[in-house]
């Protein structure tokens, strides 16, 4: 389950404003990837290019054999059925209750009977922890519930790919932690490919298998979490460690002008935290042994890496931890 998305040489501009040029990356099938970047770097525009809502100036987006920018309307329509998209605000219809909102894609895109629709809607609502809220209106629920309702709606067509645009924006840290756990659990259950755009460094550090950074009209880096979090590349190091010093400034203009700051010596990356685990005690197929990428590439982990909140060292105790989970 889950398909790979291969992006090659993608360039997008609006008029004379170049958003990014020459973006290439492979989003691995069935894995969780996260895309970050200062605001205005074209993260939302990137997601829209993946589903064919916007067309690039040039480049390719290969998904399941097709090249998205070159698909005809009919094929594009079919392709979009493979994508579940969670927009930033949940994009719920204000006059429809949650049940009807979540049922909407099924009524729109399938010929399923109302009883079948009911089974699917209730199943997805349970998955995201919204059972019992069927008759609530979007205006009556919290931001966190809206995100989960949007997520349930993104799931009803059993997508191969789930795209989420800042699902954690506007959520408090506790709600964000719950949402991240939900992403891990959904990925475990569904095996779909996840791409999550986020602003939250905390999320980026613990949730995904792969991390990417958009900055200064390009994709600075995309790769396994351990690679990115241990990187001393100035922008990557600054961004994922939330430091003030470095090439990323407050204003977009400074980002472009202040190249000198890049020569500032990189600081030691912060300890790499253990990755979030599925709550049912299982392991995700795409989850790698802590420290594996670092070892394979001869990189010494930043001191204190892979120690969890309870003080357990995942680097050394991984086998025992796995055995303990499997006994539960």
Ligand X SMILES: Nc1ncnc2c1ncn2[C@@H]1O[C@H](COP(=O)(O)OP(=O)(O)O)[C@@H](O)[C@H]1O
State the DSSP H helix or E strand holding residue 197, giving kind and residue range, or none if neither. strand 193-197
Distance of CA 43 to CAs 48, 58, 144, 305, Å?
9, 17, 22, 29
Judged by CB under 5 A, which of 13, 24, 26, 44 binds Mg ion?
Answer: 44
Candidates 212, 197, 182, 204; CA nearest to 275 is: 204
**Helices assigned H by DSSP within the chain:** 43-50, 73-80, 98-109, 114-127, 143-155, 173-190, 201-206, 225-229, 234-240, 252-257, 292-296, 314-327
Does 169 sit near ligand X (CB under 6 A)? no
Q: Which residues contact 141 (CB under 8 A, 6 or more apart)?
A: 98, 133, 149
Position 42 contacts ligand X (CB under 6 A): yes
Instruction: List the helix and strand counts (H, then E) for the chain.
Output: 12, 10
Q: Is 281 in the site for ligand X (CB under 6 A)?
A: no
Identify the residue among 2, 10, 41, 203 touching ligand X (CB under 6 A).
Answer: 41
Q: How far apart are CA 100 and CA 176, in angstroms?
A: 26
**Residue of 18, 45, 122, 201 interacting with ligand X (CB under 6 A):** 45
**Assign residue 251 a region: left if phi > 0, alpha if psi is -120 to 50, beta otherwise?**
beta
Binding segment for ligand X among 3-11, 34-42, 122-130, 236-244 (CB under 6 A)? 34-42
Contact between 251 and ligand X by CB under 6 A: the answer reads no
Whose Cβ is closer to ligand X: residue 39's or residue 326's? 39
Q: Is 14 in the site for ligand X (CB under 6 A)?
A: yes
By beta-carbon distance, which residue lies closest to Mg ion? 44
Among 44, 110, 169, 181, binds ligand X (CB under 6 A): 44
Sheet holding 58-63, edge to edge: 17-27, 5-14, 58-63, 66-67
42 binds, among ligand X, Mg ion, none (CB under 5 to 8 A by kind): ligand X
Tell whether the torsion through CA atoms of 113, 119, 120 and 122 is positive or negative: positive
Taking the least distance from each CB to ligand X, the nearer of 26 and 44 is 44
| Nearer residue to ligand X within complex by CB, 12 or 153 | 12
Out of Mg ion, ligand X, none, what residue 303 binds, judged by CB under 5 to 8 A for its kind, is none
Tell me the C-alpha distance between 41 and 213, whole Å.
Answer: 10
Cα–Cα dist 220/151, whole Å: 29
Q: Does 52 contact ligand X by CB under 6 A?
A: no
Q: Which is nearer to ligand X, 166 or 209 (CB)?
A: 166
Pick one of 1, 9, 39, 189: the residue that binds ligand X (CB under 6 A). 39
Closer residue to Mg ion, CB minimum distance, 184 or 214: 214
Q: Which two tokens stand for residue 30?
A: 């069935």
Q: Name which position in 28, 37, 84, 138 contacts ligand X (CB under 6 A).
A: 37
Binding site for Mg ion (CB under 5 A): 44
Binding site for ligand X (CB under 6 A): 14, 19, 37, 39-45
């Amino acid at each position: 389950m889950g398909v790979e998305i291969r992006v090659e040489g993608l360039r997008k501009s609006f008029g004379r404003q170049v958003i990014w040029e020459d973006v290439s990356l492979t989003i691995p099938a069935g894995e969780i990837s996260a895309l970050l970047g200062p605001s205005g770097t074209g993260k939302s525009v990137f997601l829209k290019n993946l589903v064919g809502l916007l067309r690039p100036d040039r480049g390719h987006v290969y998904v399941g054999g097709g090249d998205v920018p070159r698909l005809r309307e009919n094929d594009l329509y079919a392709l979009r059925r493979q994508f579940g998209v969670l927009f930033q605000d949940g994009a719920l219809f204000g006059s429809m209750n949650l049940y009807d909102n979540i049922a909407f894609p099924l009524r729109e895109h399938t010929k399923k009977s109302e009883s079948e629709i009911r089974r699917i809607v209730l199943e997805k609502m349970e998955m995201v922890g919204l059972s019992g809220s069927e008759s609530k209106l979007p205006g009556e629920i919290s931001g966190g519930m809206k995100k989960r309702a949007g997520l349930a709606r993104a799931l009803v067509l059993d997508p191969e790919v789930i795209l989420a645009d800042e699902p954690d924006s506007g959520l408090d840290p506790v709600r964000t932690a719950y949402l991240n756990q939900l992403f891990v659990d959904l990925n475990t259950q569904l095996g779909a490919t996840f791409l999550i755009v986020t602003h939250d460094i905390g999320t980026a550090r613990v949730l995904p298998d792969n991390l990417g950074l958009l900055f200064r009209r390009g994709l600075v880096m995309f790769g396994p979490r351990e690679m990115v979090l241990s990187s001393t590349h100035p922008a990557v190091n600054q961004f994922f460690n939330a430091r003030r010093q470095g090439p990323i400034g407050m204003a977009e203009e400074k980002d472009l002008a202040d190249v000198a700051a890049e020569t500032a010596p990189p600081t030691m990356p912060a300890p790499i935290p253990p990755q979030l685990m599925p709550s049912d005690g299982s392991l995700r197929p795409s989850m790698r042994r802590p420290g594996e990428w670092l070892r394979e590439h001869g990189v010494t982990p930043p001191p204190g890496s892979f120690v969890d909140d309870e003080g357990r060292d995942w680097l050394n105790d991984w086998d025992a931890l796995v055995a303990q989970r499997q006994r539960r």
